[in-house]
Structure formats: C-alpha cells, structure tokens
Structure 1
C-alpha cells in the first residue's frame, strides 16, 4: 500500500475540481468571510449535537471560534443512526421547539427533516468557497440527500465509501493482480476458495435490516442499476450476487446472517481474499496488532461491472434546525466548522471527518494516511457514485432488501422480485 500523500495537483486532475475564491498562502487557506467577529446575540451559548467520539476533535478548534465571536459552544451526544435521529428530534422539530442549534444529521433522516420544513436552507449562510472545496464527484449526493428545490440544507462532514480491501500478500504469492472486473473476481475467487477450510474468495455483511441493502446498492452502482427503480442493472446486480453465492460458490451463504463484525473477523482470521468494507475497518485491523501487516490490507479499486469501477458513498453532515434557540450563533458555528481552514483540523483530530475535500487532501499531502491516499485514488479514478436516493429512503431500502432476500434464498424468481419491487416503490410514491 502506498505510504505517500496524494498531491493536490493529481486530485484536481482526477476530479475536475475547480477552486473558486479560495485564497491560498503559505500552504494555508486564508479564512475570509468565514465567520463574523464578535457577533452580538440575545444569548451566548450555541448547542451542537454530534456523536460523542467526535467531541474531542471539535473541542480542539473551538477556542478560536469562541474568542472571535464571544459565543460559547456546548456539545451534546448525538444519535448514531438516521432512524435514531428521526426518533429523537421529529416531535420537537414538529412543535417548533428544537433543543439544539446545530445537528449532525444522517443521509437516512435529513430528507425527511428537510421536506417537513424543519431545517434552514444554507445558500445564504455557507460561503461559496466552502462548496467549491468539495469535488464534482460529490455533487450528485449534495443535490439529492442534502438539497431540496434547488436549495442546500446540509454540509457534509463525513464521507463513507465502500473500499475494496485485498490480501496483497496472497495475490503476490500467486503472482496475480487484484481483480479489475466482475469476471476476474469470480475467477480469482475460485482460486482462493476452499469451503472445506472456510476460506472464501470474498464476503460481506448481508444481515437485515440495512446491510443487505448496502451491498446490493454497491453492486448496482457497478452494473449501472438504480436500485429503487428495480431496473435491468438492479436485476444484474441481484443475479451476480446470487451467482457468487450459489453458482460460483466464492461467497459464503452464511453472509446473509452476518454483520460487519463477523465479516471483519473472517478477514482477520485469514479466511477471505478480498472484500468491500467501510473505511472504519482500517482502524479495526490496525488495532489487531498481533495480526496486522500492511500487506494484508491493500486497498484497490473495486472490480468493474458494466458501468465501471464504482462504489457509492454516503455520510453525515451539519444542519441547522429551523427552530434553533440561537439561530445567529448556529449560523456562525456551521460556517466555522465547515470552512476550508478548519475541515483539515477536524480530519486530523478524528478520521470520521476525513473527506475528499481539496483542503483536506492538500493538508495531508505530505502526511502518510492510508484512507486519505485511497480516497484520493478513488477520486482520481471517478469511482465515487452517489448514494441511491428516494424521499422515503428508509422504507425504499427495506423494499430492496426484502426482494433481494427472497431471490437469494430461492423463495422467488428474479422476474418476480423485480416486478414486486417496482410495485412496492410505486406504493411509496403514491
């Protein structure tokens, strides 16, 4: 695995990113118009709700904000899932009585909050230089999960993409390269699979709810399918997964009852040659010091289907409740946290904040970081695909999972699940 940084020049070439309005001086992006000095407020406290593991990274940069604005920031623990976001905040937001000023919100929940009118638009709050710091490859996601009726309501702060982890040591022993296509993945998978010993070409966590959808959408991004349309590309993705399990037998059927912990344990138990997994696995593996070696964890580009080498991304971002107790302070805080100057500081403090923003990749250019380097290569290769969108995303994802499960367990034909899936989505749209 490469141990060098990813250059700004290469990143911009790979993503066709145009930097507009960012002033660069001495390797640091000047902070111009990011937040107003000494803003006067009716109250001086701003409450930010975000998952607790991110608090230390935020606290490290808050003194600059507090001294410049005269505000103080109170951090509260935020929910860990989109469903939990909806449960915790929907009643208060509907009553026009938000308990917090700024929230860290998920892809699964923000479309509901936004369409209900419970979130402030950000177009007049976030400077253009902040939006220009994101690559073009993220624009589709920003236009769907973070926007509504041509207005933006959320700024991404977390970037999660499924990386393709490979046992580079195993591949080198056989004198082969990482599979570049679906066909190559099948052929190499057969070479490594020894089901009697519990060794598999590949695997994933496919347990419901949630995880089966993730992998089906991952394959559909490579086949060119739109999973909520139950189209031809979706059928191709379903069929490929079925064939890996039942026809080629390179993927354990037990994965249908397997979560990510079990998936990771298989890999670190020397039972898997290559697999898709979220970036958190890098830290999990490095923490397993008795097993870890860089040659066991090479990140390569995903095998390409008909639509190419793709992997969808999703994540969390900052939003402002429309009924925030301190809206002026909230506006200043969200500008500060998401600015090109401060985004790299958050990323250094917590890997959850690592994103393919120009400012972050430039900051890490000379600092070894496996995930940043991989993110840059994925950006350069145009791997990143937007997460499939539906206004009722949680229910739509359940429909995909239910249909995939019926097909993968031989309870229904591919034609039947495609037909039934279309009807389930039509019912949601009615």
Structure 2
C-alpha cells in the first residue's frame, strides 16, 4: 500500500461550529483568532479492536467536525490556554511544564483538556522543538461530533489541535506524524490505551472514500465506497449509552490480546492466522481465546470487505458487517443490549447490513441502508428502543468526508 499524505480540503464556507469556536476565544480570552482549523469524527466501517493489534481497519471521516480557533499570545508568555464549549472553566499551563504534567501528573488536568494539551506536548517532542522556541498560544474548541457515541470525538479534538499547532508553530511533520502525536496524547496524556486508527482517519480522510489502513506499517489506501451511486445511506443509531476508554473494560480486552500473542510467541495478533486458532485453544483460557478469535477473524473481515467493495460494490458487504457485530457481541463481549437492539431493528427493517461501531460498551451502531428505507430503519429502531424500555436513540446519517484542515 502507498502512504496517503494529505486530505481533501473541507468546504470554504465557515460552519456555525467554527463561529462558535471564534466567539468562545473572544469571550474567554479577549483576543481575536487568526483562523480556525477543524478535524472530523469518524465511522469505522469495519475492523474493531484490530488497530492496537497491528491489524487492518477501514474507517472513514464524517461531516461532523471539531473546530478550534487559535491565536498566538501577544504578551510573549510561553503558556498555552485552552477553552471548550463543553466546560465553563479554561485551563492554562506553561509550555515548559507539559513535560512535568505528562504522563505522571495528568490527573491534575481536567480530562477534556488533556487532549489538546497532550497533543501540544507530543507535537513538541515529535518535532524536536523546545518549548522555549515556540510562542504561547490560545485555543478555543467547539464541536458537533457526538461525544461518547463511538464516533471518535477525541481524535477530532486531537486532529484539529495537531494541524492548528503545526501551522502556528511552523512544525514540519507529515500527516502520519501528526496522527502519531495524537495517539501519544491519547495513550499517555489521557491514559486511554487506544490504537492509531482514529487519528489516521481524522488526518487522512477523503470525501466519498474510506481509508484502508495497515496499523503496523501505517501504509494506507483510499478505497472508494460508492454509497451514493449504489443508492445507499450510512445511518448512525446513537444509543446514548456513554463509554470511557480510559476505564477498565477496554484495557482488559487489550491485555487479553497481549496474552494471546504471547502464548503463540508472536509480536501481535496481526501475526496469527485463522489456522492458528485451534492450537491457541489448547494454550489459553476460554475468555482469552475468544478475545483473540474476534481480532483474528475481524482482520480477515476487513480484508474481505475491501476486496468485496472493489469487486462487487457496497451492496455486497452486508453479511460481513453482521458477522463483525456478532463477533464483538459474543467473542469480544463489548456490545450492550441497546446496541444489539439497534442492529436487530435495522436488519429487520431491511438494512443491507448493520453492526456496532467504535470501542464498545455503549456508543453507536451503524446500518447500511437503501435511500428509500432510511425512514423505516429510523422508525423500527425508535420503536424497538421504546418497547425495550430504553431511552430514545439519536439517529442521523453520515457522509464520508475530508480530513483535518484549516477552515
């Protein structure tokens, strides 16, 4: 695969969210922005929990974005201030204190602020830049990426911060290096043991396409999705059940994957084939075996999905999406009743395929649906949630969109 370096530019018309970020910068810090930058959330079409196992994933950027307004500090003070529409309080840190805060004292910073501050810290380290050699900066964030829905609102913050600071500080790093900085921020500054898929999708997204990513080499290929030509919509059913990757469930799954790789004497589950599973069953407990089986079969499903999209188009990938959900429900055990209900309702209403997306323990399901069946899927999911006594889901469509850029 060849490495993708850039991303399509987003529409030039300022969005309401970009204007919110600008207004917040003025309100909190009394300064005018020199510009706004943004990065998208993402939907992972298929390939869940394969990224940190050096496997394959197939995400695409969506039209919902996080915007950041930025201005260099005029007082010459080497400090970074961050504000967000999510929190009434702002956070201010000296640039040379970032090394002290992260990772050992990260709990002294509110979790939302660890994302942009962590990116600043990682960006300076990745570029070999001393904190004393860059100007202080003020940042204000606004977003319309749903939080906790499995659409990677965190990587949208990281991606927007990375491109904004890279421009403001004249840091010469390519898109892959910026994605790596975002992953360092998430892993070490926030404390969430995630892989690099979300950051790569946010930085490298392309309109009307998915990014086929090899998480070991970080090579990428653009894969045309062809949803519109096939008369399909990608519907997101947000269950409203929130999740946090910095807490136990995610880390436990990752530890099980590491145990499985160690039992087979390989660096990562990427190196395990379907034919190795019988031997693994004799080496590990049942829970570890099922965790590994999900990752190994999910890697194969990603490869099969890419091939099927290229050979037969998107109407032929439905069974792969359904099999992915069953594997996450039964082997990886990261689904919840609301997600299962969403998937079952979408399929009963005629969706081509459906699955939960994101890290699990809540968040959203996705359904690939013919244009003329979107209303039926929406009605079926709403009715199924009501019948089960669940709070009503939020249902919307997403469009494969461009990656991080200056607005």
**Global fold match (TM > 0.5):** no
Choose between structure 1 and 2 for higher RCO, CA contacts under 8 A separated by at least 6 residues.
Answer: 1
Q: With structure 1 as the length reference, what TM-score do the two structures score?
A: 0.27
Q: Write 1 or 2 for the structure with the bigger share of strand.
A: 2
Pair member with larger Rg: 1
Q: Given the two structures, how large is their TM-score scaled by the length of structure 2?
A: 0.28
